Structure 1
Amino acid sequence: MPLTKLLSAFAKRKSPHPITSSALSAHSAQKTAFMPAKASDIGSKLLDAVALHKQGQLARAEAAYQEILQAQPRHFDALHYLGLMALQRGKTEEGIALIGQALEIDAKHPAALGNLAMALRQLGRHEEALAHYRRALDIKPDSADIGYNFVNTLLNLQRHEEALDICSRTLRLIPNAAPLLQQRGTALLLLRRYEESIADFDRALALQPDYPEALANRGVALTAINRNADAVASYTRVLQLNANDVEARYNRGISLAKLGRLAEALIDYEQVLQGKPDHLGALNNLGTALSALGRFEAAIPVYKKLLALAPDYDYAPGNLFACQLYCCDWSDYEKSRQAVVEMNRQGRKAAVPFPFLNASESPADQLACARAFVAHTFPASSHPLWTGRRYQHEKIRVAYLSADFQEHATAHLMAGLFEAHDRQRFETIAISYGPDARGGMRERLQSAFDRFIDVREKSDLEAARIMQALEVDIAVDLKGFTENSRLGILAHRPSPVQVSYLGYPGTTGADYVDYAICDKHLVSEGELGSFSEQLVFLPDSYQVNDSKRPISAQVPTRAEAGLPEKTFVFCSFNNNYKITPAVFDIWMRLLHQIAGSVLWLYEGNAAAAANLRREAQARGIAPEQLVFAPRLPQAEHLARQQLADLFLDTLPVNAHTTASDALWAGLPVLTCTGQAFAGRVATSLLHAVGLPELVTQSLDEYEALALRLASMPAELARIKAKLAHNRSTYPLFNTVRFCRHLEAAYVEMWERSQRGEAPAGFSVPAMLH
């Protein structure tokens, strides 16, 4: 799961490469101000004074200008240049007064008007500055210098539409002005008109190939439309021109990270921080990259430093909390958790939604978190692509959107569903934006769909336009707020019906997502208002499972798995971040009471294993009673679970795919029903496999039942036998049955849309067999 999105993913610059005015004596606008003098004594003295001025001999130049004014008090050039000199010396008010006197002599001198505007801008008198720029450009509409400074002021005031208009008008007269092309590209970039901005940057670079601002801003625009390899090339050229360009290096890190080249991104962020240790964006993105590499322990001090510098930095408190959970670092667990929850309730950007599931079980809190994150990261487009047209297809076109069409938990669950769809009624499309990972699962999935479309190098808008062109009837997002999600595709509303399913166990908070798939065990009647979507209740369990998942025939011995041969093995292969102090306390008490028992855990990272062993020892449990399992291929992982006696679930976030893995392998799962969707998934699965007796309603009941089952071998054996029978006879692993229920849901959604009716929640009736 991402920790900032985890596009938040990575921080975006509000101003891609702000252009600041150079010192007045060096700025090109002043070159027009130094006008040749008439052939006279005063003219000769003016030329000498200007020469001294350009050489930086300001005292001698000032004396020469003053001598001219003694002879001719209303000499325009002397007053103008003395004004410029005052501005160079930081005497802005004096400079404004002198240039103002010059303009009393020649009110239509464009260079003087432009220089006065620059001085007024320095004092923050922006409206006056803009008025003078506008007048100067009216007088000399083909002045690249005046146009440049005028637009620069508008850009810095974030008046991007006006800046675009001025650029376009000026470029009509001087179409090959590279600085103005660069500025128009910047205005278009800030207006999110990325393709147009890239075209202007390319034109500027054709005229001036080593133009650093155009290269850098081009990189930002390319990153925005997911052309990250091209963006890296642009930033790299900037750094070849100036190795000390901090922002280019920082932005290259962002593009490298988006390409999955995290080790290289780390180098860029670290180099930025060597020069600017307080660069907030680099600190945030360094923490994110370390987290994405599984280096959670290393990310913790990075986030702590970030929060010391900026306590309200977007999503950083939640990211720190998440990293600590991944490491099972509970040193300030309750304080951190409560801080994140309270910040969220205050409307602050405390956490991205996925790690927030561990902070608060309140569905209302989770909705608030999701709404705030969506508004900030995946806002609805003001120009939706689908505007009401009803498609007339022979088959309903369903597109599934995911980064996980490869060896991934989602694929393991869903592959059978994609194969089971009724091809007479449905046309299925994969919209893949994950890596092009070769292997058996990828090949299986590509064969399962009618069309498999790779959009990983397309922008969200481009991907949405592809879906629009395909006339997709129903778009199903399988990621939500999990790692590498791109909910922004649906934000462009490419389809009449848009659905959230499976990836994220909660609400998206997005008004453009019409439906969420659930079941009666996950959401109660009183919680409907905690979802932005209309809810569709499936009859068995909301979770699909693939009945073709292979289990290796080579089951290891306990000794080979590092387990004692004759003892009770409690197991929990949930990801380490789901383990909380309250649940761990129960587990340790169980180890105390069941002589010789061990707890078999998944080892997500070395820090988590070390911390859990230390926590166990603090509770009087020998560290060796915790056994950690490494990652294995799916078939082997399923096989080794047959060595365990009882799977212990977690709270507030349950086992999801992990629970169905255990059940498929024949390992009973004991769960406790939580307050929100994420804490009720195992409850749903157990009911669908006919084992409701393993569902408890409180942690006290959970602990008591775990102790009873571990103490009563016959009872546990009965449950295992029941699971072995139910696995093939109950709905949980009946892929075709699930598919028909889901298809019935799609038909109801489609028919409502075809009738022009608003989305509305409903329940799918169960099939008779």
Structure 2
Amino acid sequence: MNGILNAAMMSDIKQYRRAVQLTPRDARAHALLGLALLKDVQLDEGIACLRRALELNPKLRDLRALLAAALLEGERYEEAADAFRQALHFEDDAELHRGLANSLVRLQRAQEAEPSARRAVELAPHSIPALLCLASTLHGQGNFEDTAAVFRQVLALDPEQVDAQYDLGDMLYRLNRHDEAIECYRAVVARRPGHVNAHRHMGLSHRHLRQHEAALACLERAVELVPDNVGILCDFGATLQMNGNLDKAAPILRKALAIDTDNEHALRALAHTCFTLGEWQEALGLSRRLLEVCPTPETHSMLLFILSHCCLDPDELTREHFGFGERWEATLRTQWQPHPNDRDPMRQLRVGFVSADLYNHAVSHFIAPLFQSLKGNPAVALHVYYNNTFDDAISREMRANVAVWRPIADLDDDAAERLIRADGIDILIDLSGHSARNRLPLFARKPAPIQATYIGYAGTTGLRSMDYILCDQFLVPEGRYDNQFTEQIVRLPSGALFLPEPSAPPVNELPALKNGYLTFGSFHRASKLSRDVIAHWAKLLHAVPDARMLLGGLQSGIDDRLIDWFELEGIPRERLLLRPRAPVHEYLKQHYDVDVCLSPFPYTGSTTIGHALWMGVPTLAATGPTNPSHAAAVFMVHLGLGSFITEDDDTYVKLGVFLAQNTQTLALMRMSMRQRMTDSILGYPDVAAAGLALALRKMWLRWCNGQGAAPLQVRLAELVSDSE
């Protein structure tokens, strides 16, 4: 049948061609030929015939709409827009307005298209195509809220519009209204069970809500539908990794990378997974490849973060970090704008904090008490620039303790800089360093006259625009590590604030007294562990042959790997005690089985060490030539336990043997540890806040006097004299 119809059409075309040849100035003949050619999808020739017909007889107004539609179909959008405008001179028609709007949207001129799209809806308020055209113009302008409202109108007219239901979900997803988005995606898959993207994005919405099990179920279904889709494999693998299923995540991500060796998403997720598993060298190689494939400040920061965990060469670590500034900041330095801030040395300072971690995160445990202490301080007004959308009770508490709280997750650096300058920020403080979701490229633009980094990262930013690094006096001892920073070092009397968990269980007796042997322990995240760390600890276990080793906070896929690493060092499985990740109270109670904690290297810990000390457990740590290795010393030195810190491997082992032979001393120390912490300045936010406020004032005075940044120190005695 199709062959007969095609033959008939060809016959018509031949007939109309003869008519045009016989009467070349007959507009109707050209029009009929043009229409036949368009029907046969010979668009270019058909369009030419319609144009010729209109040249011969401009009064053939109906042809204008047909010509415009043909140009749109032929993707000749500029010509189509002109043709629709000409047609609209003669008729105010919904279809013509819709065609003009669609042409302009395809030319990426959505704002120009909006009036025509709205007029189409005015003329045909119940037309679904007109409403969808309006949605397209609003979406093209990034107006997701109004786009969602239009899709709701479409669905009110016809609930069976599955594509509109999916698009509504997409808008809600972009608006971070994930509960509503999930309902839309669920409605889509109810009608189209094989709708891959609905399953995929429903999973991603669940992931945003931290509903990882539901997310995995949706993404697994998407993988079943399209097993070799790299993007979906990456989403699935990354979600497995976030949920702690590392042993399942790695092969999924390797499959994605085998399909597309340069896939940014696969490289990023697999690097993260390998890093979490303690496979530092592979993670480092993947992150270097990622930086080649996707050369951005964000991927460069990821590389540096991994490097800080495994690099023992201070020159290499410093060179790599300084290279970040040269690569991403150098071109911006010539564009730095002056700062008109009032140089009054004693006025109230507007202090801004930039972070993505102001929720239930380790950074917040340090910074939230400072915000609370500084809330009533007339010397400073705190402004927060929050680079995240996650909100919880801790976020809300911090928001109540600052003068201004501004979300900037959806702002680019240009808009964020304008906002910070408009707020007149005097001192802008980074709380991320090279950790995830940092805004270091924003700092590289120098939006504030004084800029500093604090708390969020163990090392330098590498930026010249970062004037200072604020740190505890024992984190960067005077004369040590100074050349590893582009920033000038500001040493504070207390920069390692620790407030215990209110729900912490009481301290128990030293388990070695009951067991008859010493139990070492580690509760650090596995990404701080490696073959070298395990080999180091194994030497200690060989020197104390009856000792046990407890490993806490483990995720799926990590425990077997650590067991293998210990066995390769001659430590059998029966000497290891494995404890899974647990809620805070249970995690703290796991310290009941530990006599002495061990700190990893070269990236040590702080919060983990503080929790152990509160449970009466000291930490034995080895510092090294890079600054990240020194974090473990801070808590211990503040408590007068500096003898637990060493730089020498042999001394480290001898200390462990000494402790195993002096359990009564450990027992007494355990029972007095909380009092020791209470008597130190670690648990006094007001001291830390006063030290920070004085440091900020010293930095400000230098700027007011036209002086550049220089090393500064705030001594405890200065705080006492100020209070007097």
Which bin holds the TM-score, normalised by the shorter protein? 0.7 to 0.9
Is 1:525 the equivalent of 2:479?
A: no
Query: 1:711: which partner in 2?
Result: 657
Is 1:134 the equivalent of 2:81?
A: yes
Give, in whole Å, the separation in 1 of the partners of 2:324 and 2:268: 11
Is 1:539 the equivalent of 2:486?
A: no
Is the Cα–Cα contact under 8 Å of residues 521 and 549 in structure 2 kept in the other structure? yes
Per the alignment, in what secondary structure is the counterpart of residue 597 of structure 2? strand
Change (3 A) 1:183 1:688: farther
Deviation sequence 1:725-764 (CA, Å, 0-9, x none): 86455544443322211222344567789x6989957534
1:545-556 equivalence runs, <5 A = 545-546=498-499, 552-553=505-506, 555=508
Give, in whole Å, the separation in 2 of the partners of 1:171 and 1:511: 50
In the TM superposition, residue 657 of structure 1 has moved relative to its aligned partner by 1.0
Higher RCO, 1 vs 2 (CA within 8 Å, ≥6 residues apart): 1
Is 1:669 the equivalent of 2:619?
A: yes
Is the Cα–Cα contact under 8 Å of residues 402 and 434 in structure 1 kept in the other structure? no
1:28-39 equivalence runs, <5 A = none
Q: Percent of aligned positions with the same letter in both sequences? A: 22
Per the alignment, in what secondary structure is the counterpart of residue 210 of structure 2? coil
Is the Cα–Cα contact under 8 Å of residues 164 and 184 in structure 1 kept in the other structure? no
Per the alignment, in what secondary structure is the counterpart of residue 716 of structure 2? coil
Is the Cα–Cα contact under 8 Å of residues 417 and 546 in structure 1 kept in the other structure? no
Give, in whole Å, the separation in 2 of the partners of 1:590 and 1:678: 22
Query: 2:376: which partner in 1?
Result: 423
Is the Cα–Cα contact under 8 Å of residues 64 and 84 in structure 2 kept in the other structure? yes
Is 1:163 the equivalent of 2:116?
A: no
Q: Which amino acid aligns with 1:114?
A: A
Query: 1:340: which partner in 2?
Result: 287
Give, in whole Å, the separation in 2 of the partners of 1:466 and 1:233: 35
Query: 1:575: which partner in 2?
Result: 525
Query: 1:17: which partner in 2?
Result: none
Per the alignment, in what secondary structure is the counterpart of residue 485 of structure 2? helix
Give, in whole Å, the separation in 1 of the partners of 2:434 and 2:506: 36
Query: 1:84: which partner in 2?
Result: 38
Is the Cα–Cα contact under 8 Å of residues 370 and 507 in structure 1 kept in the other structure? no
Query: 1:97: which partner in 2?
Result: 45
* RMSD, matched Cα: 5.1
Is the Cα–Cα contact under 8 Å of residues 228 and 258 in structure 1 kept in the other structure? yes
Change (3 A) 1:100 1:424: closer
Is the Cα–Cα contact under 8 Å of residues 102 and 133 in structure 2 kept in the other structure? yes
In the TM superposition, residue 640 of structure 1 has moved relative to its aligned partner by 5.3
1:50-61 equivalence runs, <5 A = 57-61=5-9
Give, in whole Å, the separation in 1 of the partners of 2:293 and 2:362: 35
Q: Which amino acid aligns with 2:652?
A: A
Q: Which has the higher helix share?
A: 2
In the TM superposition, residue 120 of structure 1 has moved relative to its aligned partner by 4.7
Per the alignment, in what secondary structure is the counterpart of residue 621 of structure 2? strand
Query: 1:767: which partner in 2?
Result: 716
Give, in whole Å, the separation in 1 of the partners of 2:458 and 2:139: 35
The alignment's TM-score, normalised by the length of structure 1, stands at 0.71
211, 215, 219: which one pairs with 1:261?
Answer: 211
Change (3 A) 1:629 1:173: closer
Give, in whole Å, the separation in 2 of the partners of 1:484 and 1:261: 21
Per the alignment, in what secondary structure is the counterpart of residue 620 of structure 2? strand
The alignment's TM-score, normalised by the length of structure 2, stands at 0.75
1:191-206 equivalence runs, <5 A = 191-198=141-148, 201=151
Give, in whole Å, the separation in 2 of the partners of 1:366 and 1:189: 40
Per the alignment, in what secondary structure is the counterpart of residue 603 of structure 2? coil
Change (3 A) 1:205 1:395: farther
Deviation sequence 1:679-710 (CA, Å, 0-9, x none): 4322444444444444444xxx2x31221112
Once structures 1 and 2 are overlaid, which stretch shifts more, 582-591 or 675-684?
675-684
Query: 1:117: which partner in 2?
Result: 71
Change (3 A) 1:358 1:564: farther
Q: Which amino acid aligns with 2:35?
A: Y
Give, in whole Å, the separation in 2 of the partners of 1:472 and 1:287: 41
Give, in whole Å, the separation in 1 of the partners of 2:146 and 2:248: 41
Query: 2:11: which partner in 1?
Result: 63
- Structure 2 unaligned segments of length 5 or more: list them: 312-316
Query: 1:297: which partner in 2?
Result: 247
Deviation sequence 1:95-114 (CA, Å, 0-9, x none): 42343234223246434533
Is the Cα–Cα contact under 8 Å of residues 497 and 682 in structure 2 kept in the other structure? yes
Change (3 A) 1:293 1:761: farther
Is the Cα–Cα contact under 8 Å of residues 539 and 653 in structure 2 kept in the other structure? no
1:38-437 equivalence runs, <5 A = 57-71=5-19, 73=21, 75-87=29-41, 95-107=43-55, 109-114=63-68, 116-118=70-72, 120-121=74-75, 129-141=76-88, 142=92, 155=105, 159-160=107-108, 162-169=109-116, 171-172=118-119, 175=122, 179=129, 182-183=132-133, 185-198=135-148, 201=151, 211-212=161-162, 214-240=164-190, 242-327=192-277, 330=279, 334-341=281-288, 343-344=290-291, 348=295, 353=301, 357-360=305-308, 361=311, 362-365=317-320, 409-414=362-367, 416-421=369-374, 423-425=376-378, 434=390, 436=392
Is the Cα–Cα contact under 8 Å of residues 602 and 629 in structure 1 kept in the other structure? yes
Give, in whole Å, the separation in 2 of the partners of 1:207 and 1:674: 69
- Structure 1 unaligned segments of length 5 or more: list them: 1-51, 88-93, 122-128
How many pairs does the alignment contain? 673
Query: 1:29: which partner in 2?
Result: none
Query: 2:609: which partner in 1?
Result: 659
Give, in whole Å, the separation in 2 of the partners of 1:247 and 1:510: 41
Change (3 A) 1:97 1:605: same
Give, in whole Å, the separation in 2 of the partners of 1:345 and 1:252: 32
In the TM superposition, residue 658 of structure 1 has moved relative to its aligned partner by 1.0
Once structures 1 and 2 are overlaid, which stretch shifts more, 473-482 or 586-595?
473-482
Is the Cα–Cα contact under 8 Å of residues 188 and 196 in structure 1 kept in the other structure? yes
Is 1:682 the equivalent of 2:632?
A: yes
